Amino acid sequence: MSNIEIKHLFRTNRLPDNDVKLLLFILFLPFGLVFFLLRTILILSLFILGYVVSDTGASQKILNKIATLAFGISVSIENPKKKENVDMYVSNSMSIFDHLAVNVATGAVAPGTKVSLEKILGTSTYYFGSVANFDAFKKNICQFISEKKIPLYFTPEGKLTNGKALIKFKSYPFQFATKIQPICITVERPFLNISVTTLGSSYFSDVFFFMFSPLTNYRLHFLTPLEKENHSDSEFAEVVRQSIATALKIETVDYTSSELIEWEKRKIAENQQRLEMQNSSRSVLNSELQRMSLQVREVLPHVPFTAVYNDLYTTRNVDNTITNILEGRVHFIPEQSTKPSTSSQSTSSTSSFSGSAIPSSSFMFNTAASTFAKSASERSKSFKERKEQLIANARKRYIEKHNLNIPI
């Protein structure tokens, strides 16, 4: 029984985790954009030629060559002499352009969609109808084989994976031919190691990185053709799957493409929900810190808001932040008073009425020592007393300002 879980069959990161390769990617970034722009021109020529030229073998070879250049695809065949002329080829599913690489090596075409973009960009796909209407689908394939004499290509997994294991094969392709040649496909991108597909990636995001990457190399290894003999479609599918898995030295798992698709949808939804919760929590935290910052500023208005906010982000406590500010652990440049008239009035009153009683609000925060103590212990004791007095005065001012029914 395989210990491979569904999550192990997906790539989660497009870019390499290796620091050196990540640095190479950053250095390559401007060149990659140039590659993308130049290859976009080739894509446009594919659109034009795809609509203009007639559907012949020669024209398809030309389109195929342009497509491989446009997507930076190179194909290497490890054992070309093993390739045989059969009606159908089958391989593991690694990327959106597996059919293009196999077409280069065999000339085989893969069932495609009715969307013109897929037909033009693939240049090695053919629309046989929807598999949902299987009778019509099967009839069109049989007619194509008899008239065109062109082999077919299928990826029975039905879902792209990272190649660590083979999921269950769909059985319907194995009723179209009695002799099948399996193909093992491996894909690599030298130098940058950018993933060809990732969890939740779209068709067009995969296309972009094909055009962005300097090279995407497909290595094809042909296996010995297999005869269907007396096997049922599902039994024959399993025989072919085991043959490919053995050659690739990977495991087979019991997951189906439907299970992988459902897991992927659920995982994407969970990631989206987690992101929304994080954004919501961050918004609530910011609002709370702003409220607490205003409280601190009411007590210590000369301290800049940014300095208060940054310390509150660490302490998450108004009293602790006030203590940090008073004890000099928060560095800041005091802000100027926004009410100069009050200051001048206070100065004028002080000079005109020296010796008179000054309102408590004017000297509430004046906790300077009358004399400088001689010993360190006395100075420390004086500092502690003055700090406690300053905190008490600040607390009193806050209670009076908000008319709070709290004992002073």
CATH number of the domain that residue 280 is part of: 1.10.8.10
Percent of the chain with pLDDT over 90: 42
**d(C-alpha 96, C-alpha 210), whole Å:** 10
Q: DSSP of 203-231, one letter per residue?
A: HHHHHHHHHHSS-EEEEEEEPPPEE-TT-
What pLDDT digit, counting tens, does each position of 132-176 carry? Answer: 889 999 999 988 888 888 899 999 999 999 999 999 999 999 999
SS3 at position 134: helix
Domain's final residue, options 315, 336, 357: 336
Kindly state whether residues 332 and 197 are assigned to the same domain: no
Domain's final residue, options 336, 354, 374: 336
Domain's final residue, options 203, 232, 262: 262
Kindly state whether residues 258 and 148 are assigned to the same domain: yes
Kindly state whether residues 43 and 144 are assigned to the same domain: yes
Kindly state whether residues 51 and 144 are assigned to the same domain: yes
Would residue 346 count as lying in a domain? no
**d(C-alpha 294, C-alpha 300), whole Å:** 10
Q: Where are the alpha helices (DSSP H) in 116-256?
A: 116-122, 134-148, 203-212, 233-248
Would residue 117 count as lying in a domain? yes
Reported as a pLDDT band with limits 50, 70 and 90, residue 376 is: low
pLDDT of residue 245: 96
Kindly state whether residues 308 and 196 are assigned to the same domain: no
Q: DSSP of 381-404, one letter per residue?
A: HHHHHHHHHHHHHHHHHHHHHTT-
pLDDT of residue 336: 65
What pLDDT digit, counting tens, does each position of 316-358 carry? Answer: 888 888 888 887 888 888 876 554 444 444 444 334 433 333 3
Kindly state whether residues 138 and 187 are assigned to the same domain: yes
Kindly state whether residues 104 and 20 are assigned to the same domain: yes
**Residue 280's domain spans which residues?**
273-336
Query: Total structural domains in the chain?
Result: 3
Kindly state whether residues 378 and 332 are assigned to the same domain: no
Kindly state whether residues 116 and 162 are assigned to the same domain: yes
Would residue 178 count as lying in a domain? yes
Would residue 345 count as lying in a domain? no
Would residue 73 count as lying in a domain? yes
The bridge status of strand 251-252 relative to strand 165-166 is parallel
Residues 16-43 have a mean pLDDT of 91
pTM of the model: 0.69
Would residue 341 count as lying in a domain? no
Would residue 350 count as lying in a domain? no
Q: Are 222 and 183 in contact (CB under 8 A)?
A: yes
Kindly state whether residues 213 and 114 are assigned to the same domain: yes
Kindly state whether residues 405 and 256 are assigned to the same domain: no
Say which range, 91-100, 300-309, 376-385, has the weakest mean pLDDT. 376-385
Kindly state whether residues 68 and 184 are assigned to the same domain: yes
The bridge status of strand 226-227 relative to strand 179-188 is antiparallel
Would residue 165 count as lying in a domain? yes
